[in-house]
Structure 1
Amino acid sequence: MTADRFANHPSHPHVAEHSDSSLNPRLALRLHYRTLPVEADSFSTFNSLFASSPNAIWLDSPGAAFSILCDSTGPFARSLFADAHNPHPNAFAQAQDLLDSYHVKIPADLPCQFALGIVGAFGYELRTHADAVTNPRSAVDSAGLVGWLRRGHSNPRSAVDPLASSAPTCSNGDPESTHTGGDSRTFQTGDSLPDLALIYTDRAVVIDHTTHQTHLLFLLPAQDALPAQDVLPAQGQSHPQAWLAQAERDQYAWLDTAVDVVTTNRAAAKPPTAHSGPAAIPTIQNSGVPEFVLDQSKAEYIESIHRSLEYIARGDSYEVCLTNTAQGPSIAQMGITPRDAYSALRHTSPVPYGAYLQFHPPIADYAPFHILSASPEQFLKITAGRVTAQPIKGTRPREANADEDAARRRELKANPKDRAENLMIVDLLRNDLGRVCEVDSVRVPRIFAVKSYSHVHQLVSTIEGRLKPGVSPLECMAACFPGGSMTGAPKIRTMEIIEELERRPRGFYSGAVGWVSPNGYADLSIVIRTLVCSPHATTFGVGGAIVADSDPSDEFEETMVKARALLEALGAKIQQS
C-alpha cells in the first residue's frame, strides 16, 4: 500500500472502483453474483461448503438482515496473521493492503452491502497500532496514518503484497497466506495466537433473512487485456493466461456446488430468537462438569476494582472498564467440537452478532484456533459514507417471572449509575468519531435504550456521523479502536490503568470481528460473550465499567451474570476459589 492510495480512498461506497490502478497496478477482477429464491440453512450450508477449509468464517445473524459464510480457499483468496509486538508495518496498514489486493469492479445492482473483501478478527492489543495511527502522543504525529505512511514506515511489499513471489503458501488449501510481526505471544494456555487474523475472501454465501433469498458472490478476472505478469498472485506468475483460465473454471465449479448445497439445505421455519426468560438447559452433556478458573480470583478482582476507584478519585479516569479472564479445558478435552460448542451457544444465547471463525495459520508461530462469539454489541457499521456505533454499558440479568423481568428492565433504564456509565462512553465515541467525521455531523439519535437478550437486559445508545471525504473504513476503525465500551474514559490514560491492573493481554476479547468490503461498506462487532478455543484451553473474558460509586461486590457479580450464557452452553461452571 502506498500513502497516496490510502489518502485517496474515497468515503462514498457507491463508487465501485476506488483508486487509479495506474498508480499501483493490480489484477482487475469483477464481482459476480447469483441470487437463489430460497433461504439457505446457515449451519448446514457452512458445514457442506466451508467447514473443511483451514480458514473459514460464519458471521451468523439469524435475527438480523444477513448472514455471511466464506473461506480462504478460492484462487484469489489470501490470509493474514500478525501480532501486536512489532509495530512496523502497522496492522491497520496491513489490513488496508489486504483489502487493496485487487482492483474490484462491483455491479451497481449488488443486492447486499457485503461485496467480498476482508473478513476476520482484530485483537485488543492492536490498540497500540491504532494509537500509532491517531494519537499525537505516540510515535505518529497528528498527520495520522497517511502522514505516517508517507514517512516510509510501511513497506508496501512486506505484509500482503500480491506481487511478492516469496510470500509463503499454505499447503492445506489457502492460496496465499502472510505472517508479519515479531515475537508471538504465549498465553497461560501455552498456545500462541496472533492478534490479527484476516482473510480476503473471493467467494461467499450471503443469506438474506429478510427477503428469504441467498446470494452467491464470487470474483472472476475482468474482461480486460491480460495483465502484466507481476500483478498476479505468486502462484499464477509463471503461466498467467493458463492460471487465470483455471481460476475462472474453479470459481464456476464452486458456484455449481454452492447452488446444489443451498437448494438442498433450506432454512427451517424460524431462527433462534431471544427467550422470554433465561435459557437454563445446557445443550451439551459432558461426562463431568468442566470447570473454568478465573485469572483473578474474586478477592483479587475486587482489589483491582478498589485500585480503579483510587485512580478515579485522583482524577486519572472517570470510568475504568476492568475485565477478567476465565480459562477452562480445551474443547477436545470436553469431548465436543468447536461447531458443537457454537451450535449450543447460538441456541442458548441468540444475538445479532454471532460469529464462528476457524483459523489454521500455515506458520509455526501460531496454533490453530477458533473464535465462537455471541456478541450483542455493534462496534462500527459503515453504510454509504455514514458510520454508526452502538455501545453497550449497563447490564441486568433476565428473570423467569415476567413481572420481575419487566421490573429489571425498568430499573436498568432509570438507574443513574448505569446512565452515567453509558453517557461517558457515548461522549468518548463522539470524540473518536469526531476525528474522522465531517464537522457537526456526529449526533446521538438514540440514548439509553434497553435491548433484551436471552440472559441479560442491556443499556444501548446510538452514535452516528458522516465520514470526511477520503477517510476509509479502516482509518475510521483505527480512530475508534478499541471500542470505548471496553476501555473507559479518558481512553488513553484508562488503557494504561487497565494494562497495569489486569497484568495480561486480553487477546481477541474486547477487539472486533467483522468485515470490510472494497465498496467502502463495513460491519464489525465488539468481541464480548465470546469463547476462544485453542488446542490446550478454552478462554473467555468478562468485565464491567467501574465508576466512582461502583460497589465492588456488585461489579464482580455482574461479571458472573455475563459469563452465564457461555457456561451454560458448555455445561460448565466457574471453579470456586
Structure 2
Amino acid sequence: MRITASYKVSDTTAFKRKLLEWAQSFDEVVWFDSNGHRDRYYSFDTLLAVDALTSFQTDFINGFDNLKEYQSATKDWIFGYLTYDLKNDIERLSSGHTDRLKFPEIHFFQPKKVIRVKDKEVLFDYLNIVADEIQTDYEMFLSKHSYKTDIQLNNQSVKIKMGIFKDEYFRQVKKMLVHIHRGDIYEANFCQEFYAENTRIDALKTYQRLNSVSKAPFATFLKLHDKYLISASPERYLKKRGTKIISQPIKGTARRSDDIKTDRKLKLDLQESSKERAENIMIVDLVRNDLSKSARRGTVEVEELCGVYSFAQVHQMISTVVARVEPEKNIIEILKETFPMGSMTGAPKVSAMKIIERLEAFKRGLYSGSVGYIDPKGDFDFNVVIRSILYNDTEKYVSFPVGSAITALSNPESEYEECLLKARAMRDVLENG
C-alpha cells in the first residue's frame, strides 16, 4: 500500500535540482525529465523513483516471461530498463560482441519512494513503510540545505576513442547497401560506438551538463548501483494510457543553426527531403505492423506522419502511431510484441537485426533499448535509449554509441556526418567538462 501527499512549490527549477541531488544517496534511481516539452501525451514535468523494496534482473533467456511474473507479483510501480539484446528472447538471434558495460539485460525495481512534479504541484507516493518520511523529505527540499555527491570529479581527462574509423565505417555501410540493393532488407539502423577506458566521471554532473544543452523530452538519469545511464533521448518507444498505446518513431535528422533564416531552411529541407521521408515512412509501416500484434483489429492508425519538431541541437522528423488493446491484454506481452523498436532496427525487422549483428563492432546492450516505468494501473511509458552516455563505474568504462538509418538512397559520407552530429553534445560534455 502507498500513501500519497500533494504539495505546492513556487520554484520548481530549484526543487527539481535538489530532488535529483538528494536522490544520489540511494543505490537505485530512475529520473525522467520532460524539459518543458508537452505534447498530447504529456503526463508530468519530472518523475523520480528511488530506493528499491524489491528488484528483478536477469539475462535474455525467458526475460519477458520472468518480467511478467515480477510485474504481476508486485502490482505496484516498477521502474527499469530493457536492453536491445532481449531481441534474442523474442527471435532466434544472438549477440556475439564483447559486453564491456555489463548491464543485466533486464533490470527493474519497486521503489519505496515515487515523486512527481507537474506544474507547481509535487506528488509524493510512498510505500507505507516510509510514509512517515514524506513531510520530512518535503521540508528538506524547501530548505537551503545543499546536497553533495560522493564523487567529485571533472571530465577533463576523458579521452574518447572510436570503435571503428571512418574508412571502416564506409566499408560496413557499403556492405549494408549491398544487402539493400539485392532486396534482403529495405532499411537498417547502423551504429558505431565512441568510448573511453580507465575513466571515471561524475555521473550526476555529466547528466546535468548534457541536459542543459540538449533539453530533450525523454531525458533520463538512471543509477543502479555502479551502472549509470545519462540520456538526452528525444524519442518515445511506447506509451500505454488505458487501452490506448502510442509509439512515436523518429527517423530524419537535421542540424540547427544560430541564424534564424538558415535554421528555417534546414527545417524546411528536412520536411521536404524525399530520403528522410522515405526512412520515416518505412519505419511507420514497421511500427504499424508491430502494434497490430497487440491491437484490436482495425484500431491501428497514424495520427501524424513525418512531423518536424525542433530541439536544442537538431530538427527531428517524428510520426505518431496509435492503437487500441483489449483491457485484459497483458502489458508485458505488448512490450514483447513490439520490441526492439523499429526505429533502431530496420525493415524487415528480423533480417535487419541479423545483418546489424554481423556488421556492427560492439554489443549494443542498453543503447537502443528502453528505460521506463509501469504504474499500479498497468499504464506505462518507455523511451528509446539514444543520445545517451552509458557508464560502468566499477569497470571504469564510458560509452556513447550513435547511428543512422541506411536506405537505398543513403550516402556513406552523409550518414557519417549525421552520426558525428548526434555525437557532438555527448562528446563535448565528456571532453570539455
- The aligned residue for residue 83 of structure 1 is 59
- The aligned residue for residue 260 of structure 1 is 139
Letter in 1 for 2:30: I
Conserved in 2, the CA contact under 8 Å of 1:59 and 1:355? yes
Distance 1:520 1:53 in 2: 26
Conserved in 2, the CA contact under 8 Å of 1:328 and 1:538? yes
Conserved in 1, the CA contact under 8 Å of 2:192 and 2:362? no
Conserved in 2, the CA contact under 8 Å of 1:184 and 1:192? no
- The aligned residue for residue 293 of structure 1 is 161
Conserved in 2, the CA contact under 8 Å of 1:378 and 1:524? yes
- The aligned residue for residue 545 of structure 1 is 405
- The aligned residue for residue 340 of structure 1 is 205
Larger displacement relative to structure 2 (456-465 or 62-71): 62-71
Runs of 4+ with >4 A deviation:
183-186, 284-288
3-state SS of 1:200 partner: strand
- The aligned residue for residue 123 of structure 1 is 83
- The aligned residue for residue 20 of structure 2 is 46
- RMSD, matched Cα: 2.2
- The aligned residue for residue 473 of structure 1 is 331
Q: How does 1:152-551 map to 2 (within 5 A)?
A: 187=99, 189=100, 191-208=101-118, 210=119, 212-220=120-128, 247=129, 251-264=130-143, 286-287=155-156, 290-329=158-197, 332=200, 336-360=201-225, 368-535=226-393, 536-551=396-411
Deviations 1:254-308 (A, max 9, x none): 2132221343379xxxxxxxxxxxxxxxxx97545x3321212111111111001
- The aligned residue for residue 148 of structure 2 is none
Conserved in 1, the CA contact under 8 Å of 2:3 and 2:131? no
Distance 1:63 1:43 in 2: 15
3-state SS of 1:323 partner: strand
1:356 is displaced (CA, Å) by 0.5
Please identify the structure whose Cα radius of gyration is greater.
1
Distance 1:414 1:62 in 2: 28
Higher helix share: 2
3-state SS of 1:463 partner: strand
Conserved in 1, the CA contact under 8 Å of 2:190 and 2:360? yes
Distance 1:58 1:214 in 2: 15
Quick check: 1:69 aligned with 2:48?
Answer: yes
- TM-score relative to the length of structure 1: 0.69
Distance 1:218 1:301 in 2: 49
Distance 1:98 1:331 in 2: 35
Distance 2:232 2:199 in 1: 17
Letter in 2 for 1:548: A
Distance 1:70 1:544 in 2: 32
Distance 2:308 2:244 in 1: 24
3-state SS of 1:260 partner: helix
- The aligned residue for residue 70 of structure 2 is 98
Conserved in 1, the CA contact under 8 Å of 2:103 and 2:366? no
Conserved in 2, the CA contact under 8 Å of 1:186 and 1:192? no
State the identity as a percent.
Answer: 30
1:564 is displaced (CA, Å) by 0.9
1:517 is displaced (CA, Å) by 1.5
3-state SS of 1:202 partner: strand
Distance 2:391 2:72 in 1: 30
1:482 is displaced (CA, Å) by 0.7
3-state SS of 1:193 partner: coil
Higher strand share: 2
Distance 1:94 1:570, change over 3 A: same
Distance 1:265 1:521 in 2: 36
3-state SS of 1:407 partner: helix
Conserved in 2, the CA contact under 8 Å of 1:385 and 1:520? no
Distance 1:311 1:80, change over 3 A: same
- TM-score relative to the length of structure 2: 0.91
Conserved in 2, the CA contact under 8 Å of 1:72 and 1:79? no
Conserved in 2, the CA contact under 8 Å of 1:313 and 1:548? yes
1:518 is displaced (CA, Å) by 2.5
- The aligned residue for residue 106 of structure 1 is none
Quick check: 1:37 aligned with 2:8?
Answer: yes
3-state SS of 2:184 partner: coil
Deviations 1:508-529 (A, max 9, x none): 0000011111201101100000
> Unaligned regions of 5+ residues in structure 1, if any?
1-29, 104-115, 132-137, 140-182, 221-246, 267-283, 361-367
Distance 1:130 1:256, change over 3 A: farther
> Unaligned regions of 5+ residues in structure 2, if any?
38-43, 146-152
